[in-house]
Amino acid sequence: MRIAVFTGSHAGPASHTAAAAGFATALAEAGVGIVYGGGHVGMMGTVADAALAAGGEVIGVMPQHLVDDEVAHRGLPRLDVVGSMHERKARMTELADAFVALPGAAGTLEELFEAWTWGMLGLHAKPAALLDVDGFWQPLLAQLRRMVDDGYLDARRLDALGVVGDTGELLRFVETYEHPPRKWTSAPPPAP
């Protein structure tokens, strides 16, 4: 099994760095491979370094323009170089069996939301989760609950997004995951 890890290119607080390193180490020790953005910087570098140090499989996926900017991790046994950010996400989706977002910024959100949305649309049936370090994702979860309350998001979709505190919880979530029905089907609309 491989899990795509979405996280920041900045380090963030020390507690987040420590949690990312512990998380990646535990994945490697469980025999779970990591697919990630391929960088040596920030939380991405922490995840890769920790998993590699624990003997884990780590696959980086990075667009050529970022390789040219010298942010690629040179110690990876495998770095898939692609042409664009869109190709990066598509390749990560192809390589991974599940997705998890660690703390990060706009790019982390964008990667998570695209993977989660692709699942809603039936493009894959892979689980997506948030690793909630120090309550980092609680404001986002409050906004998502507001989207449910206001009728923009089906509660089943939000329920399908895992919120986990550690590697063990993530692996249990992935193991027991049941994908909700596709958002759009060819079935006729319900009667008024």
What are 30's two structure tokens? 């469980």
The percentage of residues in the chain with a pLDDT greater than 70, rounded to a whole number, is 95
3-state secondary structure 102-119: CCCCHHHHHHHHHHHHHH
Q: 27 and 44 in contact (C-beta within 8 Å)?
A: no
Helix (H) or strand (E) holding 45: helix 42-53
Exposed, middle or buried, 60 (CB in 10 Å: 0-12/13-18/19+)?
A: buried
**pTM for this one?**
0.92
CATH of domain 2-174: 3.40.50.450
Each residue of 132-191: pLDDT tens digit? 999 999 999 999 999 999 999 999 999 999 999 999 999 999 999 999 887 766 555 555
Each residue of 56-87: pLDDT tens digit? 999 999 999 999 888 899 999 999 999 999 99
Domain ranges of the chain: 2-174
Each residue of 26-39: pLDDT tens digit? 999 999 999 999 99
Mean pLDDT of 10-25: 96
pLDDT of residue 185: 65
The chain-wide mean pLDDT, for the chain, equals 94
DSSP 104-158: --HHHHHHHHHHHHHHHTTS----EEEE-GGGTTHHHHHHHHHHHHTTSS-HHHH
Contacts for 123 with CB less than 8 Å, ≥ 6 apart? none
Q: 125 and 93 in contact (C-beta within 8 Å)?
A: no
pLDDT of residue 190: 53
